[in-house]
Structure formats: C-alpha cells, structure tokens
Amino acid sequence: MDDGGDLVNTLHAERPELLAAVRGGCESTATGVIRLRRMAAEGALAFPMVAADATTTKRMFDNTCGTGQSVIDGVLRATNTLLAGRVVVVAGYGACGRGIAEAARGLGAQVVVTEVDPVRALEAVLAGFRVQPMADAAPAGEVFITATGSRDVIAGGHLPALRDGAILANAGHFDVEIDVQALAEAAVKVTRDVRPHTDEYLLADGRRLLLLAEGRVVNLVAAEGNPPQVMDVSFAGQALVLAWLAAGAAGLPPGVHAVPAEIDEQIARLTLESSGARIDILTPAQRDYLTSWRHGP
C-alpha cells in the first residue's frame, strides 16, 4: 500500500531481490500513479499496481465533498470572514473546484468560476455559476481559491486589479497556483500572521492583500484536511484492493490497473450501510429486462 510511489520505487531500485515475492499493491495518490505509469511504460514495473486514487467513491468523498468542506473550513479558521453575499472566485472546476464552489455557494457566496477547459467551464455554467477569465474576475473577487493543478493562476499581472482586502487561498497540491514571489515583490510591507495562517501584503498604493497559508494547500495548513469519514472511504478501498490481490483471483499482469467496479460498489454499499441508508434490489424480472434490453436478440 503505497503513497506517492516511494515504496515501489525503493523496492525496484534498492531491493530487487524482493520483487518476485510481491503479488501486487495499490497506490493512493495521483502523483504516485503518474510515476507508476511511467515505470510501466518503460517496462520497469515488475508487478501489478492498482490505482486506488481514482475510484468514483473516492472522487466523490475526497475531492468534491471532503475538499469542498475542508477548504472552506480552512478559509474560515484563517480569516473568520463572512461568506454570505461575498464574491468568491474559484479557479478550476474539476472535482475539487466543484466541491469548493458548491460549498461557498451553500454558505451564501456569489461564486465566479474560472477555467481553461471549455467542457468544465460549460459544466459550471449549467450549474448556475458565472464563468469569467481571471482578468475579469480579479477586480470583483473578495475571496480567491485556486484549485487547478496549474501554476500562476493568480499571477503578478492580476495584482493591480485586486480589491483592497482581497483574500488569496490555494487548494491545489503545490504552492505554485498563486505567484507568491510576484506578490512579495509587489509589496512594500509584509506582516506575517495578522491572524493565524494569514499574511498581509501591503502594496504601494495602500491596498492590502491577505495570503493564506503562504499559498500552500489551505485545508491542510489552516484546517485539518479531510474529515475521518473521507479517509474511511479511501482506506476501505485500499484494504479491499489488497484483499482482492492477495486472494489471487485477480490474475493481473504487471502494470497499472483500475480498481474493479465491484470494489467501488462494495465501498459504496458499506458506506450506505454504515449511514443507515438502504436501497432497492433488482427483482429477477427487472434484471431480465435490463439484460435483454442491453444484450438481447
């Protein structure tokens, strides 16, 4: 059970004699999966690895609900600012951005979404969000939250347009989404920790910009990351994948493999049970109908 690919890497590089005994494993982060895919592409991965970062249940719990709530939690702990009626700009409308945008709207904010991908942008539009380029959103926003996976999403060029008191937070994995260096260069004075995890950048024209968590991922730095219910789902997936690999029924070749849909369903089923929710079960007649419909004569 790996996190970031380090274990797999170390095994291959330093303990090759152990590789033959490994039936397989699972990787829980997107970064690790990227590393594994490169190894696999080069023919260097000696056993099957399951990409446990990408189940539907994990995406729903972790990226959308967990990140959505915990990022807002981080912003509130750092600033205690009121969100109702404020213009919150969410950069990126992937699974995380969507969760953040919905949580902010749920607390009464007027949310603007920025995107580079037209399909995601359209998805945001159809969900009722205003979509604008960052250059247009910059002068209106009161709180900015980046969740794109890209860099310089709030860049030096945007700084002149920002409002006095604007709050800048990053929810992406790396601290490159807000160009902190450009911010530092534009500032005539930086006051650390005007509140916990809030630094004030005073610009020459008197505007003050508030950078949270030094541009690092705000839900981990200023709040507590994902709630335990989210981790439960992630760990359940990893445990079930290992059990499935250990049982040997999988018979997978070396390479990177998706979590089988059955395990995703099992996680969902267990999660529903633990919450007390119950669902319907197909009757035999319904099962026949659906089968004949999809595969019939």
Min dist CB 293 to its own copies, Å, is: 8
Nearer to its own copies, 181 or 229 (CB): 229
Min dist CB 22 to its own copies, Å, is: 25
Min dist CB 150 to its own copies, Å, is: 5
- Give the long-range contacts of residues 252-256, CB within 8 A, separation 24 or more: 252/24, 252/48, 252/50, 253/48, 254/40, 254/45, 254/46, 254/47, 254/48, 255/40, 255/45, 255/48, 255/49, 256/33, 256/36, 256/37, 256/40, 256/45, 256/48, 256/49, 256/50, 256/51
For 204-220, give one letter per residue: b (16+ CB within 10 A) or e: eeebbbbbbbebbbbbb
Nearer to its own copies, 8 or 223 (CB): 223
Nearer to its own copies, 24 or 109 (CB): 109
Min dist CB 222 to its own copies, Å, is: 11
Min dist CB 51 to its own copies, Å, is: 14
Q: First-to-last CA distance in the chain?
A: 45
Enclosing H/E stretch for 50: strand 48-51
Nearer to its own copies, 21 or 285 (CB): 285
Q: Is 248 helix (H, G, I), strand (E, B) or coil?
A: coil
φ, ψ for residue 42, nearest 5 deg: -90, 5
Nearer to its own copies, 57 or 170 (CB): 57
Min dist CB 246 to its own copies, Å, is: 23
Which structure tokens are listed for 243? 């059990």
Nearer to its own copies, 10 or 292 (CB): 292
Nearer to its own copies, 50 or 267 (CB): 267
Query: How far apart (Å, rounded) are the C-alpha atoms in residues 168 and 178?
Result: 8
Enclosing H/E stretch for 28: none
Min dist CB 144 to its own copies, Å, is: 14
φ, ψ for residue 47, nearest 5 deg: -150, 170
| Selection from 103, 107, 48, 65 nearest residue 258 by Cα | 48
Residues recorded for the chain: 297
Beta bridge partners of 255: 48
Nearer to its own copies, 106 or 160 (CB): 106
Min dist CB 295 to its own copies, Å, is: 8
